[in-house]
């Protein structure tokens, strides 16, 4: 596609529910990043994939968060047993270069998760 | 101390004026610096990147980098109401990931 596509755009989850957020990067992009943006804050790094390999998951806040990119294209961020503090916008970004952070990257429109 | 610091604002400037947005960072090893613009309810959009000391101009935007002072700035000339947004400074965190570390952003309001 022309840009990074994320779905759903909005998700309301009851506390304790599991959610799955999808990211479809720009075709052929090697690098894929997930970020979490709380209200009034800048994006915070969660995890990074180079093709199908998850090279950095240091930003995942707890073991309730899990991300995968099994075929090196579409990625899914899963949050188990959601808590209110998980409420945020989840942003996905991709880059055509191996060193995505060196040249900057393009964000998708994000998924706004609200846990009630 | 946060790795990337910005004044949260709001910074209010009249239409046609120069808006000056500032950012400091803590990691002296950082090599790549970016400015993103984020409209309310939208995702961040990359508007400028800078890699070496000095100024880099692109249209009405000028990015300035001073690595010795660990300081990055963005100047917007002839500010327009459509420039009203949050401006996020981002720094390459280095390492194998080269993830970007973002500041909290500065809210710019351009008054017509």
**Mean pLDDT of the A92-115 span:** 83
Among B34, B43, B92, beta carbon nearest to A91: B43
Interacting residues of B43 by C-beta distance below 8 A, sequence separation 6+: A89, A91, A107, A108, A109, A110
Among B43, B49, B103, beta carbon nearest to A104: B49
Write the pLDDT tens digit of every residue in A52-73.
Answer: 999 999 999 999 999 999 999 9
- List of long-range contacts for A81-85, beta carbons under 8 Å, 24+ apart: A81/A16, A81/A17, A81/A18, A82/A13, A82/A14, A82/A15, A82/A16, A82/A17, A82/A18, A82/A19, A82/A113, A82/A115, A83/A15, A83/A115, A84/A15, A84/A115, A84/A116
**Closest Cα to residue A36, out of B26, B43, B10?**
B43
CB burial of A78-101 (b: ≥16 within 10 Å; e: otherwise) equals ebeebeeebbbbbbbbbbeeeebb
pLDDT of residue B18: 98
CB contact under 8 A, A107 and B44: yes
pLDDT of residue A101: 57
Distance between CA B44 and CA B35 in Å, rounded?
Answer: 9
Q: How far is A17 from chain B (nearest CA, A)?
A: 25
Q: Determine the residue of chain A that is closest to B36 in CA distance.
A: A104
Give ∠ CA A105-A111-A115 in degrees, rounded to 5.
140
Average pLDDT, rounded, for chain B:
93
Provide the token pair at A107: 């964000």
Write the pLDDT tens digit of every residue in B78-106.
Answer: 999 999 999 999 998 766 667 899 999 99
Distance between CA A79 and CA A83 in Å, rounded?
Answer: 9
CB contact under 8 A, B102 and A43: yes
């Amino acid at each position: 596609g022309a840009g990074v596509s994320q779905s759903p755009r909005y998700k309301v989850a009851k506390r304790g529910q599991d959610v799955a957020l999808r990211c479809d990067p720009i075709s052929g992009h090697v690098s894929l990043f997930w970020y979490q943006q709380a209200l009034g804050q800048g994006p915070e790094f969660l995890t990074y994939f180079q093709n199908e390999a998850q090279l950095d998951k240091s930003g995942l806040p707890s073991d309730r968060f899990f991300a995968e990119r099994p075929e090196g294209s579409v990625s899914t961020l899963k949050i188990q047993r959601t808590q209110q503090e998980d409420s945020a916008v989840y942003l996905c970004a991709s880059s055509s270069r191996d060193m995505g952070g060196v040249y900057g990257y393009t964000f998708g429109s994000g998924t706004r998760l609200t846990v009630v | 101390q946060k790795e990337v610091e910005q004044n949260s604002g709001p910074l209010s400037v009249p239409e046609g004026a120069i808006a000056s947005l500032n950012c400091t960072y803590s990691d002296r090893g950082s090599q790549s610096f970016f400015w993103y613009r984020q409209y309310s309810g939208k995702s961040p959009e990359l508007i400028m990147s800078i890699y070496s000391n000095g100024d880099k101009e692109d249209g009405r935007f000028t990015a300035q980098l001073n690595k010795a002072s660990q300081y990055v700035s963005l100047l917007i000339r002839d500010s327009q109401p459509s420039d009203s947004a949050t401006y996020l400074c981002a720094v390459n965190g280095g390492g194998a990931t080269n993830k970007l570390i973002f500041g909290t952003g500065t809210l710019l309001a351009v008054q017509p």
